[in-house]
Amino acid sequence: MATDRTGTPAARDLSRPHHLPNLRPGKEPPDKSWLPRQRKGTTPQMIGRYPDFDVLDSAGTWDEATSQVVMARLHLAGQFAFFAADEQATLRAFCDVTMAQDGEPRVPVAEMIDAKLATGKMDGYQYADMPDDRDTWHLVLAGLDEVAGSRYGRPGFAACDPQAREAIVGSLADAQLAGGSWEQVNVKRAWSVCMRMVLAAFYAHPWAWNEIGFGGPAYPRGYMRLGPLSTLEPFETRGATSEDPVRVAAELGE
Amino acid sequence: MIRKLLKGAVGPKDNDSRFLLDVHRRDLPGEDTMCRYDDSDEVDICIVGAGAGGSVLAQRLARAGWRVVIIEAGPFWHPDEDWVSDEAGSHDLYWTQKRIIGGADPIEMGKNNSGRGVGGSMVHYAGYCPRFHPSDFRTRTVDGVGADWPIDYEQVRPHYQNVERELPVAGQDWPWGFPHTYPFSPHPVSEAASVLWRGAIAQGIKMRVGPVGIVNGTFGNRPHCIYRGFCLQGCKVHAKASPYVTHLPDALAHQVEIRAACMAARVEIDEAGRAAGVTYIREGEHAERMQRARFVAVAGYSIETPRLLLNSTSQRFPAGLCNNEDQVGRYAMVQGATQSAGRFGAELRMYKAPPPEVSSEDFYETDPSRGFARGFSIQTVSPQPIGWAEHVLADGHWGRGLREYMRDYNHWTTVGVLNELLPHPDNRVTLAEETDPYGLPVARFDYTLGDNDKANMAYSAVVIKDLLHAAGAQDILTIQRFAHLVGGARMGTSPDNSVIDASQRAWAVPNLFVADGSVCPTQGSANPALTIMALASRLAERMISGAAMSGADR
pLDDT of residue A14: 86
Confidence of residue A243 (pLDDT cuts 50, 70, 90): confident
Omega prior to A220 cis, within 30 of 0:
yes
By the 8 A CB rule, do B190 and B414 touch? no
The 3-state DSSP class for residue A39 equals: coil
For residues B71-83, give the mean pLDDT. Answer: 97
pLDDT of residue B368: 95
**B2 within domain boundaries:** no
Q: How distant is the Cα of B276 from the closest Cα of chain A, in angstroms? A: 31
| C-alpha–C-alpha distance, residues B301 and B489, integer Å | 9
Considering CB atoms only, which of A16, A62, A209 is closest to B85? A62
Selected residue of A219, A242, A252 to mutate for chain B interface (largest B Cβ count, 10 A): A219
**B211 within domain boundaries:** yes
DSSP B46-59: EEE--SHHHHHHHH
| C-alpha–C-alpha distance, residues B404 and B422, integer Å | 38
Task: Kindly report the average pLDDT of chain A as a whole number.
Answer: 91
Across the A:B interface, residue pairs with CB atoms under 8 Å apart total: 236
| C-alpha–C-alpha distance, residues B464 and B415, integer Å | 7
For residues B490-517, give the mean pLDDT. Answer: 97
Q: How distant is the Cα of A26 from the closest Cα of chain B, in angstroms? A: 11
Omega prior to B211 cis, within 30 of 0:
yes
Residue B336 has pLDDT above 80, yes or no: yes
- Is A252 within 8 Å of chain B by CB? no
| C-alpha–C-alpha distance, residues B471 and B464, integer Å | 10
The 3-state DSSP class for residue A28 equals: coil
Q: Report the residue of chain B nearest A121, measured CA to CA.
A: B96
Q: How distant is the Cα of B337 from the closest Cα of chain A, in angstroms? A: 18
What is the CB neighbour count within 10 angstroms for residue A86? Answer: 11
Segment B283-317, tens digit of pLDDT: 999 999 999 999 999 999 999 999 999 999 999 99
Selected residue of B402, B433, B445, B446 to mutate for chain A interface (largest A Cβ count, 10 A): B402
Q: Which residues of chain A from 46 to 65 reach within 8 Å of chain B, CB to CB?
A: 48-49, 62-63, 65
| C-alpha–C-alpha distance, residues B127 and A117, integer Å | 31
Segment B208-235, tens digit of pLDDT: 999 999 999 889 999 999 999 999 999 9
Q: What is the CATH number of the domain that holds B142?
A: 3.50.50.60
B77 is in which domain, residue-wise?
A: 34-550
For residues B261-276, give the mean pLDDT. Answer: 97
Segment B92-117, tens digit of pLDDT: 999 999 999 999 999 999 998 999 99
DSSP B394-457: HTT--HHHHHHHHHTGGGEEEEEEEE-PPP-TTSEEEEEEEE-TTSPEEEEEE----HHHHHHH
Segment A112-170, tens digit of pLDDT: 999 999 998 899 999 999 999 999 999 999 999 999 999 999 999 999 999 999 999 99
Strand partners, B430: B444
Residue A6 has pLDDT above 50, yes or no: no
Amino acid at B328: V
Buried b (16+ CB within 10 A) or exposed e, B319-344: ebbbbeeebbbbbbbbbbbbbbbbbb
Q: Are strands B43-48 and B68-71 parallel, antiparallel or unpaired?
A: parallel
Residue B188 has pLDDT above 70, yes or no: yes
Amino acid at A150: S
**B204 within domain boundaries:** yes
Kindly determine whether residue B100 and residue A69, on different chains, have CB atoms separated by under 8 Å.
no
pLDDT of residue A254: 57
Complex prediction ipTM: 0.95
**B14 within domain boundaries:** no
Confidence of residue B5 (pLDDT cuts 50, 70, 90): low
Nearest to A62 by CA among B116, B259, B86, B454: B86
Confidence of residue A79 (pLDDT cuts 50, 70, 90): confident
Considering CB atoms only, which of A122, A127, A223 is closest to B352? A223
pLDDT of residue A68: 96
Number of separate domains in chain B: 1
Considering CB atoms only, which of B109, B189, B403 is closest to A99? B403
What is the CB neighbour count within 10 angstroms for residue B13? Answer: 9
Segment B311-333, tens digit of pLDDT: 999 999 999 999 999 999 999 99
Segment B433-469, tens digit of pLDDT: 999 999 999 999 999 999 999 999 999 999 999 999 9
Confidence of residue B356 (pLDDT cuts 50, 70, 90): confident
Nearest to A83 by CA among A115, A109, A130: A115
Nearest to A117 by CA among A97, A96, A94, A138: A138
Nearest to B185 by CA among B213, B216, B226: B216
**B38 within domain boundaries:** yes
Segment B390-446, tens digit of pLDDT: 999 999 999 999 999 999 999 999 999 999 999 999 999 999 999 999 999 999 999
Considering CB atoms only, which of A23, A66, A203 is closest to B84? A66
Q: How distant is the Cα of A155 from the closest Cα of chain B, in angstroms? A: 23
**B1 within domain boundaries:** no
**B12 within domain boundaries:** no
Amino acid at A181: S
pLDDT of residue A78: 75
**B10 within domain boundaries:** no
Q: How distant is the Cα of B214 from the closest Cα of chain A, in angstroms? A: 15
Task: Kindly report the average pLDDT of chain B as a whole number.
Answer: 96
